[in-house]
Structure 1
Amino acid sequence: MALIPATILTGFLGSGKTTLLKRVLTEAHGQKIAVIENEFGDENIDNDILVRDSGEQIIQLNNGCVCCSIREDLRTTLSDLAEKKRRGELDFERVVIETTGLADPGPVAQTFFMDDEIAESYLLDSILTLVDAKHGDQQLDDRQEARRQIGFADQIFLSKTDLVDGEAVESLIHRVKHMNPRAPVQKVHFGEVPLSEVFDLRGFNLNAKLDIDPDFLKADDHDHDHDHDHGHGHDHHDHAPGEACDHPHRHVHDDDVKSFVFRSDRALNPAKLEDFLGAIVQVYGPKMLRYKGVLNLKGSDRKVIFQGVHQLMGSDLGPKWAPGEKKTSKMVFIGIDLPRDVFLQGLEQCQV
């Protein structure tokens, strides 16, 4: 049986997860989707699109989709769904997991890698994070869960942008991109998002195309190069000497979730790199939210693609370096208070 693609939908309370989910479920796309909700609360999918099956935690929707709540834990629920699909009792093509607004998506993502049975049935496609444009800044200031949700994201949707002025929206986008430069940010209006931007993003796919972020290997357009220091609560803009910065309100955020990029034009020593990455993951794994890279390893004529979540790390051979292509390694790390200098110096010592 082909692996079932799974999408994690996260975002702080009131960010519009249910609105987006409802739109995805009711759109005439012909796909059968199983939705797993952390709980059926007041905010759950409207009852008018639910056909309740008394006493069962799996609910059949009248458009052929199914909806269920997490009964014991996510693993059990996923396992139940896959088993029912195998037996022909349920028909669905993909799974969407809607987390509670206070959830950390990390353990949810790890379920797909740490459990062999789940890994044999499902393929984690991506983590989508919704951010409420009106309350986002305050939530990011106050709540680490909100910051972590940004750090884990493969795609970020900004909701309620009609409730705030353009400058505030741009400021929030700028802040979010500082925290996670690898996730595209897109404004959404009442959950209206093309399905192509919700499903099959391959954010966790180690395939060579890196199609989740085609700009990943291009020059950064957000000044996230590793010669910038993101650690002092100020941003880096191009100003003439003495010129006033026109973003004064951007200087107050010193988020604990930050990103930095390592680039090298020298080949990396595979054994040294493996030792170093193994060591930092042992020490900082819980604080390493997402990390991803394209590597030029000595002795390989192919790109090596690697990525990880917390302590889980994997790599895969990508395509061959094209004739005349500059062999540059580039890695992005997103995490909570990671010691940037330790990472960058360590990686520099892995160069041949």
Structure 2
Amino acid sequence: MQPAADNLIPVTILTGFLGAGKTTLLNRILTEQHGEKIAVIENEFGETGIDNEILVQDKQEQIVEMNNGCLCCTVRGDLVRILKDLRKKKRGGELKFDRVIIETTGLANPGPVAQTFFMDEDIHKNYMLDAVITVVDAKHGNKTLDEHDEARAQVGFADRILLSKTDLVAETETKDLMDRMKRMNPRAQQNKVHFGEADIKEILDIKGFNLNAILEVEPTFLTDDHHHHDDDVSSFVWKDPRPMHLEKIETFLSLMVENYGEDLLRYKGVLNIKGNERRMIFQGVHMLMGGTEGKPWAPDETRESVMVFIGRKIPRKLFEEGLAYCVA
């Protein structure tokens, strides 16, 4: 059973391409007087991490306390181990922190880090994954998306995209990049930020992994006519007002996840189930899927199922035909 959310330590995964501005942002979080006690985990593999003046590089994990009460530690080993260690020290009163930010390396797909919070029972009992935040450099964003599949995965995984360096490019170029990312991931809100000056509120308490959070998909995103990039990461939204058959939809989604889970980055939906006065909410990361009953449908509310799938080369027609079959 999921523990009460207020007992769980919220976690944010911060990702982004090399040079996008993640480290500048983190250095600010670690030194600014924002009143939050944050443990920042650098999940790095030999990449230049947080400024050397702030973090003493060491062969082992090293936890350094900042002047604003934040903590910073570098993980060169198992993320699960350091999360358990931090929790133990917090419980024992050795360390004080309210939340965790994990910075992934610039060349990493954030998927496996996100999966950690579903797979390890101990982590699941003590931590709550809040959101994946992706920092994108407006100046080099399109080129990076063209050349690196990890960069496309980072956009596909995002609950929120922070766009840096927009002051260095023409407005039309920024719009082209934002439109492209909207097609790749319609559920991520995009915010422009000045280098290292993102408001802390743009990063924390997004509730992107909260099953009961509203499924926010810009309804017009598919109707805009733009120059198309041939991205392997794309998305589609499926809607149907007809009630769904619960067993059929569960079977179908399980089958799709079994066959295409590795290519499904994120998927989330609100389902109108026949005979149920409550909405059913589900979401998943790769092969891991979870569902729960949401709040009741209001009498004046239009009941409809809405699902969004984000992934690599998803066989959209197959999904749409299968979902139509699940209508009660």
1:230 maps to none
1:201 maps to 206
For residues 1-352 of structure 1, the aligned pairs below 5 Å read 2-39=7-44, 43-50=48-55, 57-207=62-212, 209-210=213-214, 215-216=216-217, 220-223=219-222, 236-237=224-225, 250-251=227-228, 253-352=229-328
Q: Distance in 1 between matches of 2:61 and 2:310?
A: 40
Q: Distance in 2 between matches of 1:278 and 1:70?
A: 34
What TM-score, normalized to structure 1?
0.87
Q: Alignment partner of 1:46: what SS?
A: coil
Bigger Cα displacement from structure 2, 341-350 vs 16-25: 16-25
1:193-226 deviation per Cα after TM superposition (whole angstroms, max 9, x unaligned):
222221011110112x42xx5x44xx702126xx
Residues 40 and 69, structure 1, Cα contact 8 Å, conserved in 2: no
Q: Distance in 1 between matches of 2:222 and 2:58?
A: 53
Q: Alignment partner of 1:95: what SS?
A: strand
Offset, 1:317: 1.2
Offset, 1:40: 8.2
Bigger Cα displacement from structure 2, 291-300 vs 53-62: 53-62
Residues 51 and 61, structure 1, Cα contact 8 Å, conserved in 2: no
What TM-score, normalized to structure 2?
0.94
Residues 50 and 62, structure 1, Cα contact 8 Å, conserved in 2: no
Bigger Cα displacement from structure 2, 96-105 vs 70-79: 70-79
Q: Alignment partner of 2:237: what SS?
A: strand
Bigger Cα displacement from structure 2, 191-200 vs 293-302: 191-200
Q: Distance in 1 between matches of 2:246 and 2:160?
A: 31
Residues 47 and 105, structure 2, Cα contact 8 Å, conserved in 1: no
Residues 32 and 94, structure 1, Cα contact 8 Å, conserved in 2: yes
Instruction: List alignment gaps of at least 5 residues for structure 1.
Output: 225-235, 238-246
Q: Distance in 2 between matches of 1:287 and 1:272?
A: 22
Q: Alignment partner of 1:186: what SS?
A: strand
Q: Distance in 1 between matches of 2:55 and 2:249?
A: 51
Corresponding letter in the other structure for 1:222 = F
Offset, 1:41: 6.0
Bigger Cα displacement from structure 2, 123-132 vs 40-49: 40-49
RMSD, aligned α-carbons:
1.9
Q: Distance in 1 between matches of 2:210 and 2:316?
A: 26
Q: Distance in 1 between matches of 2:267 and 2:110?
A: 15
Residues 52 and 59, structure 1, Cα contact 8 Å, conserved in 2: no
Q: Distance in 2 between matches of 1:99 and 1:281?
A: 25
Q: Distance in 2 between matches of 1:138 and 1:120?
A: 40
1:257-292 deviation per Cα after TM superposition (whole angstroms, max 9, x unaligned):
000011001000000001000100000001000001
Tell me: CA distance 1:277–1:31, structure 2 relative to 1, closer, same or farther (3 Å): same
Q: Distance in 1 between matches of 2:239 and 2:211?
A: 19
Residues 32 and 68, structure 2, Cα contact 8 Å, conserved in 1: no
Q: Alignment partner of 1:289: what SS?
A: strand
What percentage of residue pairs aligned between the two structures are identical? 58
Offset, 1:69: 1.1
Q: Distance in 1 between matches of 2:314 and 2:58?
A: 48
Offset, 1:95: 0.6
Q: Distance in 1 between matches of 2:88 and 2:273?
A: 41
Instruction: List alignment gaps of at least 5 residues for structure 2.
Output: 1-5
The number of residues matched between the two structures is 323
